[in-house]
Amino acid sequence: MLDDEIELPPDMRSWRDEVAAESEQLRAEGRTPLWNGPRYAVEAFDISRTALDERPEVHLRLRPTDYYTFLAAQQLDRRLPDGTTPRSRYLDPDQPLKAPAFLQCSFAVNIAVVTADDMLVVSQRSDRVRMAPGVWNSSVNEGLSRHIDSSGRSAPDLHSVARRGMREELSLEPHEYSLDLLAFVLDIGKRHWSGHFYAKLRDLKSSDLQARMSRGVADRWEHQRIDYVPFRPAAVVRYMLRDDRVHRWAPLAPALFHLSLVHAYSRTLVERVEAQITRRL
Amino acid sequence: MAGIDVANGVVGAVIGMLFAVLFQQPLQDAWFRLRKRSTRALRSLGRREESGPAWRTFSLGPLQTSALIVEGDGESPIPPETV
């Protein structure tokens, strides 16, 4: 964890002021102002291997920021006074992992939840959320919060963030599921980082989960619809490629479902099924 | 004369049969190899040197995404203590 807050370049600072002004305007009109919570920006992401068993070691360097800065920096294709855009000025398509921290103000966990009766939970984001409204997404999507997920200068624990997301979005407690971190994934379009998790419910079936959620969910407003898809390679792949889904996915979700299938069924089987289905399209 | 023609015919048939039995498989193989090589040579005429980035975003048939899997392959989970 680094101490200094993210600073936007001088010619992007007014964009953050615009976001703050919009929020004040909404407040003045008696409407809900924009939320502005403390967040993390990704300063650096490094991977190494342990000497003996070559297990991955992931090093994350995070820097404090807030949601308004994130919203300002998300305007990657807006013109700057010199005619360039943040994307053309700061990002190199051939080096996707290199980017200044102020363009990477988002780190979230995405979880593929599979019920005890082998149904994959797929959520549709609410039309009320500011980022990517209405798209189909992972079962749980939870951003790292500087306020909730770290005490003092300690770094956030990604598994704890995932457990918080499970509680807030699906009303599930840690003893009710197993949790595995499968991958780190970067959306190079919007510069969003994600820890991709797979959670398997021990006893709760899809009907139990629906009943549980009917009794109250903290962040219910974030989702507007939830689908339950049989968690078999052919069923999940066909679902992802359905005409009414194929172009309506949040960028990070399909990779999550693919990795979860590989985790549960093996790469060989999943690749074979995917090849068969895409060939017949 | 007719006897000689019949004998020649029989000898020819036997030799033809022997030839077919002995050389059918090698001849078929050679013909198959010739067709395969000529097809490959014709196809390779349109090929050019290719180069692509080592990093490619996740795609599945018509489903193209901007998600880059930076670490992890799904088969082995990343232990919490290594992050």
| Alpha helices in chain A, H assignment, sequence order | 13-28, 67-73, 86-90, 146-149, 158-170, 206-214, 233-240, 253-265, 267-279
Contacts of B73 in chain A (CB under 8 A): 183, 259, 262, 267
CA distance A74 to A103: 7
Q: Distance between CA A167 and CA A179 in Å, rounded? A: 13
Nearest to A187 among B66, B75, B79 (CB): B66
Say if the ipTM goes beyond 0.95.
no
More confident residue, B66 or A49: B66
Please report residues of B whose CB lies closer than 8 A to that of A259. 69, 72-74
CB interface of B with A, residues 1-60, below 8 Å: 53, 55, 57-58, 60
Task: Please judge whether A186 and B78 are an interchain contact, meaning their C-beta atoms are less than 8 angstroms apart.
Answer: no
Nearest residue on chain B to A247, alpha-carbon basis:
B63
| Domain residue spans of chain A | 1-105, 106-281
Residue A29, phi then psi, degrees to nearest 5: -85, 5
Q: From the CB of residue A61, how many other CB atoms can be counted at a distance below 10 Å?
A: 15
| Whole-number Å distance between alpha carbons of B72 and A9 | 33
A94 contacts B77? CB cut-off 8 A: no
In whole angstroms, give the CA distance from residue A174 to residue A211.
18
CB contact under 8 A, A183 and B75: no
Chain centroid to Cα A29, Å, comes to 31
Confidence at residue A261, expressed as pLDDT on a 0 to 100 scale: 98
Residue A101 pLDDT exceeds 90? no
Q: What is the mean pLDDT of residues A57-83?
A: 89
Identify the H or E element spanning B30. Answer: helix B2-44
Angle between helix A253-265 and helix A233-240 axes, rounded to 10 deg: 170
Contact B75 A267 (CB under 8 A): yes
User: With 80 as the cut, is the pLDDT of residue B3 above it?
Assistant: no
The answer to whether B68 faces chain A, any CB pair under 8 Å, is yes
* Angle, CA A195 vertex, CA A192 and CA A197 arms, to 5°: 135
Is the separation of the CB atoms in A250 and A125 below 8 Å? Answer: yes
Q: Cα–Cα distance between A109 and A144 in angstroms, integer?
A: 8
Which residue of chain A comes nearest to B58, CA vs CA? A255
Q: Which of B55, B63, B82 sits opposite A241 (nearest CB)?
A: B63
**A192-245, pLDDT tens digit by residue?**
999 999 999 999 999 999 999 988 888 777 788 999 999 999 999 999 999 999
Q: What is the DSSP letter of A249?
A: B
Give A149-173 pLDDT, tens digit per residue. Answer: 776 567 788 999 999 999 999 999 9
Q: Do A262 and B75 touch (CB under 8 A)?
A: yes
Average pLDDT, chain A: 90
Question: Which CATH superfamily, name and number, covers A106-281?
Answer: Nucleoside Triphosphate Pyrophosphohydrolase (3.90.79.10)
